[in-house]
Structure 1
């Protein structure tokens, strides 16, 4: 199963699924059904993401994320909201709804939002339990009633502050190199390839011949003295024409050297870097993103697989004899 943005060819399927779930199960007043079916209008709003969960080519779930600045945002206007979550009846109990919610939450953090809100009807008991399990809290003082007289329950989930993801500045090149080297050393990824350390430290070249991204935020541990300007993580995105690409073919973006400072792990830094790269690749017109990783990078493997990357063993390769790199690919 893959969670991603809905494609225009899937808008009708999204509308049908919403109609079947909300209308067929009498979860909302009939007055609301036309809005559920207006998938194209929602998707064309630049501050709205219409997401789908796709399994074997079939849309089995959907959710809509609205960010501040869209007409679809309800109350208050400066808050992200999760709306129109629906899972096909035969796909329930398989984690589809949870995956959609977590994708919306991650996108909120990437956009710099610190809360995400939702409103749900009293009849959606299963959904209430899921929301509470995922960290949403009831806020009864924000309950409201629709124009058709239907009461809605309000939930809000607080999100930890996210680091800023952007291209590195010249004064950050050295720190980005040190973070990369420290991460590779901590994970034992330089054994037998110590000469690669010089490549990891050469961030100036990466910044000029590719796109050197950094995650910058409040530091902890060994970086605490750098306050809010610390480089917490880094990755190199290889845009079209970059000499840094190793695996990508036509229509594919690629990234390399994903690294998170050991003291900054567990805060979602690596995930935010990868999500930023997926957006960059989509903006460049690519239809997929590929990467190579060492066999021992188990932490990274779990991250890639959780974010929808699939193993493509036929594209594994060896940059030097005895060093096998595993290939991963995700459609976007």
Structure 2
């Protein structure tokens, strides 16, 4: 074989090797939109704005946040699903919501139809106004067990952190409560601060400012380990009073339809592995907001988020709030 033939083969091989690397480099030519399906100021909105700044720097393009609350988060998520699957419109939220939408019948897209990019886990926190008669969770638990009138808890919606936490507590104890629903965690927390509701079980991230300002007193974290809250101290786990309460990390992230162009997914994978996972900005935000930072994506993200999704989906189904069997959507029953 002549030198020209060898040169042709070498050039062809180089092209084939170089081709995929070029294809993986997604550079959006216009701003990318992330739809937050909750109101501004809540845990999803707050952390997504931090993520958007990191993404914008990595992509070399503006990343715009659009708040679109409604139907327990499914309205905004549906907008992403119905938009072109080109990576230009992404969703934000909790995997516990995203995976439960088909169980609730509010969105047909299953968890496997999305590519997950997770960043923090936000524990639920049971808190009251600082002037409340309930000084610890034992006091509140006794009231929930004995009160003839339902005690009101502020909630961000059917599949919000509050709803999931309260259903978890309800499985462990006979309690009398009523959820008052608001369009997201932030207005729900404000309702407890103002006295419209008697307590909240929103995420620590949504409550931390009011706790540091002395407006709310945290009684227990819905977990099996205490929460160290910067600027406050240690919050005991709810398992000190109810050892059988099921708990798992409630993971939040950014979601892209899994059938988006491969170069979009490859670029996002690379950004998550090389920038987000080591982001000092994200780490500082998590510590300041009482969240667990654990950036992961793809199958590893599904594995991390599935325990809390399972708790949520099966509680919704078994309580009668959701019409569809979670196992039909690949969601295993919690052990």
The answer to whether the superposition gives a TM-score over 0.5 is no
What's the TM-score once normalised by structure 1's chain length? 0.21
TM-score (norm 2): 0.20
Relative contact order higher in (CA < 8 Å, ≥ 6 apart): 2
- Structure with the larger helix share: 2
